[in-house]
Structure 1
Amino acid sequence: MPDPSPRPAPPRPGLPRHLAAIVYDALLLAGVLMCAQLVPFTIGIAVYGLDAFRDFRNPLVGHPLNETWLVLVSFAFYGGFWVHGGQTLGLRAWKLRVQAEDGGGVGWWPALLRFLCGALWLAPAVYLHKVLGVGVWPSLGAGLGCLLLTVLTRLHERYSGTVLVRAAARPR
């Protein structure tokens, strides 16, 4: 007979812990993206020749295929960890886990929605810098403000049907 009493909700992480996991994962993602950039760089050398890359002229900067590649690698990084275990390395370090609202695992579709909603903070930073010509630091500041707002309102959780919870301690 199933237990009729509702289970208590798992504890939610505080803002400092959540932001620390974001910073940790962002540093790891930067390394992953640097390695992933070797693929288009190698293809670019084959297509454009090595002379196109001399004197800090990179024909791949702003190229739609290159940008798409980096977004796909970023999603593979986050989505892969969320779908397979619910924890990126940053989440594991800060003892957090992403799970479905019902406590189950996260599928690829909710992971994609979480990724896209979580990445919305980049829009103001990119728009201010590339379209309006605002400096890098003010644009980045506006983007980080939007990231903080996204985390505080849990926008990515509401639209993806996922929650970030404190991970239960594993028995030794």
Structure 2
Amino acid sequence: MPRRFTQLDDVWPAGLGRRLGAMLYDAFLVVAIWVLVAGLHLLAVRHLVGLPAEQVGAGVAQVVSLRLIMLASAFAFFAFFWCRGGMTLGMQAWRLRVQTRDGYTISLRQAMLRFAVACLSFAAFGLGYLWVLFDPERRSWPDIASGTQVVVLPKR
């Protein structure tokens, strides 16, 4: 069940600088997760499948499976934090929260859509995030597509 946030009158739309700061923090965390996932994938290929060391990473199936697992692990990281409390660890450091337009935690469907459009935004050389500079409500493409908003929380 979605949780309604408090202090909705005290928040304001997040600008590009704060968003980029939070993204940088979260990128370090995602890379750490990817290192762990790649190590586990390597162990699985070597010991469960039984491939010799010189054949690890040589097959298309290995490359595709690792990329899919990395994508799934990145999504799991973001979806867990967004749906649970609206903030990843990087967002907590920058006092940001993602929420629905009426102040609730986002759903898993919104998180999936938000993540997919975020990937497209990066693929378009960051244009989806630069959109914050032109949108009167400071929304990025992931915000618009998923019906969410990123807000700045007041200092305690």
Question: For this structure pair, what is the TM-score category when the shorter chain's length is used for normalisation?
Answer: 0.7 to 0.9
CA-to-partner distance for each residue in 1:135-160, whole Å, 9 max, x for gaps? xxxxxxxx3x4354355451100110
Instruction: Name the aligned partner's letter for residue 59 of structure 1.
Output: A
Q: Which residue of 1 aligns with 2:106?
A: 106
Distance in 2 of aligned mates of 1:151 and 1:79: 22
The answer to whether structure 1 residue 164 and structure 2 residue 145 are counterparts is: no
Q: CA RMSD in A?
A: 2.3
Instruction: Name the aligned partner's letter for residue 146 of structure 1.
Output: L
Kindly indicate whether the alpha-carbon contact (under 8 Å) linking 2:129 and 2:141 is maintained by their aligned counterparts in 1: no
Deviation at 1:60, TM superposition (A): 6.2
Instruction: Name the aligned partner's letter for residue 114 of structure 1.
Output: R
CA-to-partner distance for each residue in 1:105-133, whole Å, 9 max, x for gaps? 11100000000001113435xxxxxxxxx
Distance in 1 of aligned mates of 2:45 and 2:67: 13
Instruction: Name the aligned partner's letter for residue 43 of structure 1.
Output: A
In structure 2, the gaps of 5 or more residues are 1-7
TM-score (structure 1 length as normaliser): 0.72
Instruction: Name the aligned partner's letter for residue 34 of structure 1.
Output: V
Provide runs of 4+ in structure 1 moved above 6 Å.
none
Q: Which residue of 2 aligns with 1:35?
A: 36
Distance in 2 of aligned mates of 1:76 and 1:150: 25
Deviation at 1:8, TM superposition (A): 4.5
TM-score (structure 2 length as normaliser): 0.79
Tell me: higher relative CO, structure 1 or 2? Use CA pairs within 8 A at least 6 residues apart. 2
CA-to-partner distance for each residue in 1:5-24, whole Å, 9 max, x for gaps? xx758301221111111111
Kindly indicate whether the alpha-carbon contact (under 8 Å) linking 2:121 and 2:141 is maintained by their aligned counterparts in 1: no
In structure 1, the gaps of 5 or more residues are 1-6, 125-142
Specify the structure having the higher radius of gyration (Cα): 1
- The percent of aligned pairs where both chains have the same amino acid is 31
